[in-house]
């Protein structure tokens, strides 16, 4: 299921196209046929480049390693092929369901593709990409989204499924507001303070904690003492959800009693924190329930589409065997590293997958 989410994320992220247009050679060769649908090398390389970005985000020397007992490059090529299979499956299912892109959607895809081509004239000319390749890629992504939505409408989760999902995602809706004072434990170079200064920092933090516990305004203490530039001027205030802060800070913030100062110093890699919990919201039950229902429905739809894609008949050509990853140490690929990908995951992560 996680692979499906990653595939969907790659296909639905239009901004990734800018990255994918860099470093990818293109020809009119058919590299693979999927259920009688011919996939050109240029279109395949778009999918492959997306996969390459994902792999290279793991470690710089990924291509010198093995995954699943295979060369990483071969695994990446298969993952790209999985993405295309899903695209073809969506196209086939869309035809069965009578789903088409509207005139407005087609026009938007055309304009977006033209903009991408125009923004990279030198690279497009050098690499031989055609606007139709980009249009086809974006069209596949739009069809997947529409097919997933249509299939999901046919499934209604029962209350047990919804309740289980709610428990899995409930913590995602929690957020707290805290005020804190930070007394740092690092010098200007980011190294640990020497023992004597570390002891002095801890003693100062303990003193401030006692002031806060005695009722002094934590916001005023933060303005006077805090070494956190991100919150000092606002009285040390932060509002955040789970997974946004270092573990020790998060644990104290979410377990502390609202309206009170956490009774102990909280030590993190940044230093010593004095924390007061101002507010703790658990999220709307109605919203959590509705979102849980939608997650289950979309997961059902994604599974159905994946099963269809796995049944596709795949015929690789010699051109497929001759395609290789363009390593990140090549000029064009190096340039691509300056561009940050932006993706939206259609199917949210679930802890039980």
* Beta carbons within 10 angstroms of residue 116's beta carbon: 21
Which segments of the chain does DSSP mark as H helices, in order? 2-12, 16-20, 41-56, 72-97, 103-119, 121-127, 131-152, 159-169, 195-213, 218-225, 247-255, 285-310, 318-321, 331-336
Q: Which helix H or strand E contains 30, and what residues bound it?
A: strand 30-34
Per-residue pLDDT tens over the stretch 268-301 = 999 999 999 999 999 999 999 999 999 999 999 9
Structural domain boundaries enclosing 122: 2-158+288-336
Specify the number of domains making up the chain: 2
Per-residue pLDDT tens over the stretch 138-169 = 999 999 999 999 999 999 999 999 999 999 99
**Residues contacting residue 45 through CB under 8 Å, at least 6 positions apart:** 20, 24, 25, 26, 323
Residues of the chain with pLDDT under 70: 1-28, 123-128, 328-353
Cβ contact 41:319 at 8 Å? yes
The reply to whether 267 falls in a domain is yes
Q: What is the pLDDT of residue 48?
A: 87
- 159: tokens are 């209350």
Residue with tokens 């695994």: 75
Interatomic CA distance for residues 57 and 51, integer angstroms: 10
| Residues 27 and 108 placed together within one structural domain of the fold | yes
Go through the chain and tell me how many residues it has.
Answer: 353
Residue with tokens 């692979």: 3
The reply to whether 147 falls in a domain is yes
Q: What is the pLDDT of residue 333?
A: 41
| Residues 293 and 144 placed together within one structural domain of the fold | yes
The reply to whether 154 falls in a domain is yes
Q: What is the pLDDT of residue 313?
A: 94
User: Pick from 274, 279, 176, 256: which is nearest to 219 by CA?
Assistant: 274
Q: What is the pLDDT of residue 127?
A: 57
| Residues 29 and 152 placed together within one structural domain of the fold | yes
The reply to whether 227 falls in a domain is yes
Q: What is the pLDDT of residue 18?
A: 36
| Residues 251 and 317 placed together within one structural domain of the fold | no
- 251: tokens are 């644990």
Residue 190: give its domain's CATH number: 3.10.50.40
Per-residue pLDDT tens over the stretch 64-84 = 888 888 999 999 999 999 999
| Residues 227 and 147 placed together within one structural domain of the fold | no
The reply to whether 345 falls in a domain is no
Q: What is the pLDDT of residue 345?
A: 22
The reply to whether 352 falls in a domain is no
The reply to whether 170 falls in a domain is no
Model confidence, pTM = 0.69
């Amino acid at each position: 299921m996680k692979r499906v989410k990653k595939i969907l994320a790659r296909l639905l992220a239009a901004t990734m196209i800018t990255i994918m247009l860099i470093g990818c050679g293109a020809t009119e060769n058919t590299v693979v046929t999927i259920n009688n649908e011919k996939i050109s090398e240029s279109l395949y390389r778009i999918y492959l480049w997306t996969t390459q970005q994902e792999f290279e985000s793991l470690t710089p020397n990924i291509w010198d390693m093995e995954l699943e007992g295979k060369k990483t490059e071969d695994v990446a090529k298969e993952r790209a092929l999985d993405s295309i299979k899903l695209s073809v499956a969506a196209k086939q299912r869309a035809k069965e369901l009578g789903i088409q892109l509207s005139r407005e959607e087609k026009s938007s895809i055309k304009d977006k593709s033209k903009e991408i081509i125009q923004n990279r004239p030198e690279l497009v000319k050098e690499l031989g990409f055609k606007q139709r390749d980009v249009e086809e890629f974006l069209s596949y992504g739009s069809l997947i989204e529409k097919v997933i939505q249509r299939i999901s409408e046919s499934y209604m989760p029962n209350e047990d499924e919804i309740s289980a999902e709610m428990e899995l995602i409930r913590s995602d809706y929690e957020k707290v507001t805290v005020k804190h004072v930070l007394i740092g434990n690092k010098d200007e170079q980011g190294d640990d303070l020497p023992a004597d200064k570390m002891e002095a920092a801890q003693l100062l933090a303990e003193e401030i904690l006692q002031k806060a516990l005695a009722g002094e305004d934590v916001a005023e203490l933060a303005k006077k003492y805090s070494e956190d530039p991100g919150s000092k001027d606002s009285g040390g205030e932060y509002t955040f959800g789970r997974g946004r802060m270092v573990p020790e800070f998060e644990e104290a913030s979410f377990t502390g009693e609202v309206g009170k100062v956490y009774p102990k110093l909280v030590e993190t890699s940044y230093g010593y924190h004095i924390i007061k919990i101002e507010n703790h919201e658990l999220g709307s039950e109605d919203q959590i329930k509705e979102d849980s229902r939608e997650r289950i429905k979309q997961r059902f739809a994604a599974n159905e589409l994946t099963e269809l894609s796995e049944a596709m008949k795949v015929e690789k050509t010699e051109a497929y065997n001759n395609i290789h990853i363009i390593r990140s140490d090549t000029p064009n690929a190096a340039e691509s590293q300056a561009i940050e990908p932006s993706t939206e995951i259609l199917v949210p992560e679930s802890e039980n997958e």
